[in-house]
Structure 1
Amino acid sequence: MAEGKILPYLDIPLQHASPRILKLMKRPGSADRQLARIKQWREICPDLTLRSTFIVGFPGETEEDFQMLLDFLKEARLDRVGCFKYSPVEGATANELADQVPEEVKEERWNRFMQLQQQISAERLQEKVGREILVLVDEVDEEGAIGRSMADAPEIDGAVYLNGETRVKPGDVVRVKVEHADEYDLWGTRV
């Protein structure tokens, strides 16, 4: 990564943290092993962006299973996370599993999950305030430029706002000092 040819970004579809639910999903994995890997990766590459997706409300998921997932999320402190409510897929064996989770429980768990991740995201982005990052400019208008950092996938993640910066064009890569962060976006000034 020292030569700048590899993006410090990993997308790992973890799906859940409860060993029981992972087994029902027919997915390998151990939350402890994943947490150890995440720690190692961040020691090797402190600027690494970690993204994952999770499913809540999988058939058989108990409140205890869901709490394991929240505890994992708190410890892993992933940068970017997507969460989906389980829904039946034609031909999937999970459709036949007992203990289907009611829709209102899925919704409530999804909301709790997303609220926690929003807090984690805000904390992770706050760590960037005062630092300089590279930003790829996506659009420019009379108010300024909007772009994204190496951590931001287009149309999925937040943006980096350069208020008043109109001397750039889409496709430019500029160095930006981050001055402010919220749950998903950054604001900064070109340096």
Structure 2
Amino acid sequence: MPASFMFISGRFARSALAVTVALALSGRAEPKAEAADGPGPEEQGEIVRVVATGYTAGVESTGKRPGHPQYGITYSGVKVRRGKLSTIAADPKYFPIGTILFIPGYGYGIVADTGSKIKGKKIDLYFPSKRQVFQEWGKKTVDVRVIRKGNGKITESMLDDMSEVIAPSEDDPTSG
């Protein structure tokens, strides 16, 4: 069965989730209506001050080495990625799996992972290497915007669909 598409802001969106994200990003949807349904205290569209650190898929962050069957796999089951929509870790009590945040200086992140030290208003941003964690980020206190509240689930195809509708950000160093 062919996928259905919708044209939004000059882009084709393949799923209802991608359409919702595209509308929220374009300001054409009222995000507060959906936010009341999700768990956690953070409202969609709200600015939240967090402490943000960086992590990698490597042994220094996860205890896993290349070759391990779970190397590079997040709590939600998707692979770590850095791009227009990067995987990040957060406390699901504050930012449920699937929550999309805009992080100044980093770009858009989607909560796909958790961490033993990531509690409360802390987030961990994925970077491909330790060098990038230290040179590009370190540890910062930042005000993030909740773009879309997650429902506790995320898949590779959902990430791909959402990445298609997110325009590169000038705050995203990967947008070249």
Structure showing greater radius of gyration is: 1
TM-score range, shorter chain: under 0.3
Structure 2-normalised TM-score?
A: 0.24
More helix by share: 1
Larger RCO: Structure 1 or Structure 2 (Cα < 8 Å, ≥ 6 residues apart)?
2
